[in-house]
Amino acid sequence: MDDGPEGFAEYVAARQSALLRSAWLLSGDWAHAEDLVQSALVRMLPHWSRVRDDDPDGYAYRILLNCYLSWWRRVRPREPESRELPELPVHDEGFVTVALRDELAQLLATLPRRQRAVVVLRYYHDYSEAETAVLLGCAIGTVKSQAAKALAKLRGHLTPTPVGQAR
């Protein structure tokens, strides 16, 4: 059985988890995230010999973003979502971490696609404004304005927490 172009299987094994986390942050759904990563890797394979020595991560994220931004099928939840989380236990770090991760996913889901992509690239992947603009194929000013709008919207959803208390 042919493993494809040299080094591609190793790249996928090393970076698949990171791509999947990014796709989940973008889509908010694990199944959709897996589909996005699979689509991105399938699109990347024919170009592997050209990008493997240049910037395979940048290329992979660009394809992932393009797949996400043009995805015509929206995954609809089969059950109605509950916007209220149950009371948090007194102090369970694991539960608090999962609850915060869930809250982040719900907040990201309120953003339009392009704003969500900017937030994930700028603040999760720590790309510069210029790098984000290149990956999204837009001007730096667009990245700045989309980030500002997204952060303003996210701040509007957050409730202040007294100092020293867990959220």
pLDDT in tens, 42-75: 999 999 999 988 889 999 999 999 989 887 445 4
Q: Which residues of the chain have pLDDT under 50?
A: 1, 72-73, 75-77
Domain with CATH 1.10.1740 in the chain: 1-72
Q: How many residues does the chain have?
A: 167
Query: Do 28 and 109 contact (CB within 8 A), yes or no?
Result: yes
DSSP class of residue 164 equals: T
1-72: CATH topology: Rna Polymerase Sigma Factor; Chain: A (1.10.1740)
What is d(CA 104, CA 11) in angstroms, rounded to the nearest whole number? 28
91-157: CATH topology: Arc Repressor Mutant, subunit A (1.10.10)
Domain with CATH 1.10.10.10 in the chain: 91-157
Rg (C-alpha) for the chain, rounded Å, is 18
pLDDT at 112: 93
What is d(CA 99, CA 85) in angstroms, rounded to the nearest whole number? 8
pLDDT at 101: 81
One-letter amino acid of 157: H
Query: Do 143 and 133 contact (CB within 8 A), yes or no?
Result: yes
Token pair 């509007």: residue: 156
pTM value? Answer: 0.60
